[in-house]
Amino acid sequence: MNSLGIDKAPADTRVVVAMSGGVDSSVVAAMLHEEGYDVVGITLQLYDHGEAIGRKKACCAGQDIYDARTVADRLGIPHYVLDYESRFRQSVVDDFADSYLRGETPIPCVRCNQTVKFRDLLATARDLDADVLATGHYVRRERGAAGAELHRAADPVRDQSYFLFATTPEQLDFLRFPLGGLASKAETRVLAQRYGLVTADKPDSQDICFVPNGDYASVVGKMRPGALKPGEIVDMDGKAVGEHEGIINYTVGQRRGLGVGGTAERLYVVKVDPEKNRVIVGHKEALARERVYLRDLNWLGGDLGADGAPVRVEVKLRSMQAPVAATVERDAATGSALIRLDEPLYGVAPGQAGVLYQGNRCLGGGWIERAEGRFAA
């Protein structure tokens, strides 16, 4: 077995590397090339190249494509740019806009991994007779008794397992994550310097690639005319306390910029109601949720809880949130799950992900459909 778990010599093992143009995927390509693998780099053009050229802090933009090609040229490996613009718009951008209109808070990076990268790009890698697809994500793929498992990265600060919860067992068999065992991002940059890569000092991407300057409402407003329709802000009793300029400007748990004056009380967004085009606000206690319902569950835990029996887990309900203790009951027939939290959490937003863990192992997760607590909104 070689270092990728394939029963071939490295030179006979074809590896497609998803090269975003950042330092992480560049180092992956360099590492595997140094080990003697047959490396092929692929970069995805996800939106209009003319618009992309000016965006310096987003992945898959014009400069990133140039940087990926420069790295590939230095390594002497084949490099291809694939136009996935229409697929990206249909699978990620349109879903992002529609999710906001449903009163949800979407995570487009998960959708991108779930569809364009780990479905479409993976299929392309197979068409190229690749043995594996390697990426620069910070997660670990471990071999378990029942097959490949998804585990947190060695560096908890860089861990990206929350964004990869939708990776299926079949995809996990074909994927490799060479950076998951590194102790820190600094180690990655040291390797980039040693390989002489142009991306060695390149800053990490900060924004969602198609949302310049983080202005989500502006993007959704342009895509969906009428999305910025004004409406009422009401309290828990239904009394109007202000006006909003579009529900897409609000998310559950939000405290700042509510546009509610004349009160000394600290109010939060408790619910976004798209049917009535209103935003419901209340005290922090009204945000407490004890039960969370997931849809489209992707289960990576094998037979655990197959009979609907409760499974003890830790769960993350937002990407930057620390995992908390809970019990999950899954319904394999409907692809849904109920999470019962040991302690209430605040600001649980529909459209976000509920990702489940046992220790360092990720058991998968699903999309938050709704959450319940002591107070109704």
Distance CA 20, CA 26 (A): 8
Helix %, strand %, coil % of the chain (to 5): 30, 30, 40
Q: Which pLDDT value is given to residue 59?
A: 57
The class that CATH gives domain 287-372 is mainly beta
CA distance 6 to 198: 30
Is residue 122 over pLDDT 90?
A: yes
Per-residue model confidence (pLDDT) at position 56: 53
pLDDT, residue 306, reads 84
How far is 127 from 78, CA to CA, in rounded Å? Answer: 15
- Note the pLDDT of residue 375: 74
Q: Are strands 288-299 and 336-346 parallel, antiparallel or unpaired?
A: antiparallel
Q: Who wins on pLDDT, 47 or 34?
A: 34
Alpha helices in the chain (DSSP H): 23-34, 49-52, 62-75, 85-88, 94-101, 108-112, 122-127, 169-174, 185-195, 216-223
**How do the domains of the chain map onto residue ranges?**
10-213, 228-282, 287-372
Mean per-residue pLDDT, 361-371: 97
* Pairwise pLDDT comparison (304 vs 16), residue with the higher score: 16
What's the pLDDT tens digit per position in 140-153? 999 998 899 999 99
CA end-to-end span of the chain: 57
pLDDT tens per residue across span 61-110: 578 899 999 999 999 999 999 999 999 999 999 999 999 999 999 999 99
Number of C-beta neighbours around residue 299 at 10 A: 21
Q: What is the pLDDT of residues 193-232, one digit of tens each?
A: 999 999 999 988 767 888 867 788 888 988 998 889 999 9
Which among 288, 349, 269 is positioned nearest to 317, based on CA atoms? 349
The average confidence (pLDDT) of the chain is: 92
Q: Three-state DSSP class for 261?
A: coil
Whether 69 contacts 109, CB under 8 Å: no
> What is the fold of 228-282?
SH3 type barrels. (2.30.30)
374 phi/psi in degrees, rounded to 5: -80, -25
pLDDT band at 308 (very low <50, low <70, confident <90, very high): confident
Q: How many CB atoms lie within 10 A of CB 375?
A: 14
- Domain 10-213: which CATH number of 3.30.365.10, 3.40.50.1580, 3.40.50.11720, 3.40.50.620: 3.40.50.620
pTM score of the predicted model: 0.92
Helix (H) or strand (E) holding 37: none
pLDDT of 333 higher than 60 = yes
The pLDDT of residue 261? 67
- Token readout for 6 is 């394939």
Residue type, 153: A
Q: Which of 59, 60, 109, 112 is catalytic?
A: 112
Share of the chain above pLDDT 70, in %: 94
Look-up of token digits 């922090």: 284
pLDDT in tens, 153-206: 999 999 999 999 999 999 999 999 999 999 999 999 999 999 999 999 998 876
Instruction: Output the pLDDT for position 53.
Output: 43
59 is catalytic: no
Q: Is the pLDDT of residue 272 over 50?
A: yes
Instruction: Give the torsion sign (CA, 348, 354, 359, 360).
Output: negative
What is the pLDDT at residue 47?
74
| Residue 60 a catalytic site member | no
Check residue 52 and give its pLDDT.
43
Question: For the residues 289-314, what does the mean pLDDT come to?
Answer: 94
Predicted pLDDT of residue 49? 47
Per-residue pLDDT, 60 = 55
